[in-house]
Amino acid sequence: MYILIQMILLIVALLLLERGSDWLVEGSSGLARKFKVSDLFIGLTIVAFGTSAPELAVSMIGAVQHSGGISIGNVVGSNMANAALVLGSAIIIGNGMIIKKQTLQYEIPLMILAQLIATMMLLKDGYLDYHNGIVLLSFFIIFLVYALSTSKNGFKEISVKQRSLSAYSLLTVIGMIGVTVGGELSVYSAVNLARSFHVSETLIATTIVAFGTSIPELATSIKAALKSKKDLAVGNVVGSNLFNILTVLGISSLLSPIKPDRTVKPDLIFMNVTGILLLFLFLNRKYRAKRWKGLLLVIIYASYIIYEIFAR
């Protein structure tokens, strides 16, 4: 009976994610046209923050309950899932992906820098406290200022039948609720099953919880790739990873010092190497990642999960 209930919850979660991601992409793209800002900007901000709501909720709860392994493992694992599984899947399904020069020169390096800063903090003290939280949140404010300053770059007027501003806003909000609730339901059922096997909370966080909270990003980026909104797909991943590192960890460490219950050094290495790899995947004359590069990212994520389960 218990397993049946979890399966029903999973089916409901998948339905919410499918519908929610569809509405979120349509609504956010419409808002971009209404306000004459680029899809990349919307992906870096509104969509990224909306799809990262599950990570924020899970990590804050972990911090309040003094489960630092959940808070840190969730963020590191989610960033791995976003950069490798989510973007890799979007590249495969979108039959390759071309990104803007601006993304390669600024947004991805910003993501790498944020991850390296958090890594140095964790390796130095073994935990994050409110001092670290203030630093991370300060960098997030700098990122927001940068994002606003480039919001008009790459905007293209498209002659399509448009809905009203309130309709696009409603679609975006409903879409965010759908992907957030869907992600939370998938995490809830997965964690309940995993804890019955008495495994480390950090292991649960870096694998099951991280994958579950990244499902909104996965659903949204795949839907964006299918609808040829590839700037939205890339912006969603980069923005979500920045939000996770700077805001989720920042707020969580303000609430309470967070410390993992096992070493996260290998996880941090995986996360940073994958982030740096993204630069090289798009580093060519056309800033294009072909389908095989997406497959490579997915294989890297699968290798990370196998390592987490069997080698740790």
Q: Are strands 97-98 and 288-289 parallel, antiparallel or unpaired?
A: antiparallel
Q: Is residue 287 part of a domain?
A: yes
Q: 40 and 103 in contact (C-beta within 8 Å)?
A: yes
Q: How many CB atoms lie within 10 A of CB 29?
A: 24
Task: Report the alpha-carbon distance of residue 205 to residue 210 in Å, rounded.
Answer: 6
- pLDDT score for 157: 53
Task: Report the alpha-carbon distance of residue 49 to residue 267 in Å, rounded.
Answer: 23
Residues of the chain falling short of pLDDT 70: 3, 6-7, 10, 14, 17-18, 153-161, 183, 186-187, 189-197, 199, 201, 312
End-to-end CA distance of the chain: 32
- pLDDT score for 301: 95
Task: Report the alpha-carbon distance of residue 121 to residue 125 in Å, rounded.
Answer: 6
Q: Is residue 62 part of a domain?
A: yes
Q: How far is CA 199 from the centre of its chain?
A: 24
Q: Is residue 256 part of a domain?
A: yes
Q: Is residue 86 part of a domain?
A: yes
Q: Is residue 183 part of a domain?
A: no
- Whose CA is closest to 60, among 253, 213, 211? 253
Q: Is residue 71 part of a domain?
A: yes
Q: Is residue 1 part of a domain?
A: no
- pLDDT score for 192: 66
The domain containing residue 209 runs over which residues?
36-152+198-311
Q: Is residue 17 part of a domain?
A: no
- Reduced to 3 states (helix: H, G, I; strand: E, B; else coil), residue 97 is strand
- Whose CA is closest to 308, among 265, 250, 246, 247? 265
Phi, psi of 234 (to 5 degrees): -65, -45
- pLDDT score for 154: 56
- pLDDT score for 129: 93
Task: Report the alpha-carbon distance of residue 278 to residue 280 in Å, rounded.
Answer: 5
Q: In sequence order, which ranges of the chain are alpha helices (DSSP H)?
A: 2-34, 39-42, 48-51, 53-64, 68-80, 87-93, 101-102, 108-125, 130-149, 165-195, 201-204, 210-226, 230-242, 249-255, 265-281, 291-306
Q: What is the pLDDT of residues 31-69, one digit of tens each?
A: 877 887 877 787 788 777 777 777 777 777 778 777 777
Q: What is the pLDDT of residues 175-220, one digit of tens each?
A: 888 877 876 776 676 666 666 667 676 777 788 777 777 877 888 7
- pLDDT score for 193: 60
> Could you give the number of structural domains in the chain?
1
Residue 67 structure tokens: 């489960």
- pLDDT score for 83: 94
Mean pLDDT of the chain: 83
- Whose CA is closest to 79, among 295, 246, 306? 246
- pLDDT score for 5: 76
Task: Report the alpha-carbon distance of residue 15 to residue 250 in Å, rounded.
Answer: 32
Helix H or strand E encompassing 156: none
- pLDDT score for 244: 93
Residue 85 maps to which CATH number?
1.20.1420.30
- pLDDT score for 17: 67
- pLDDT score for 42: 77
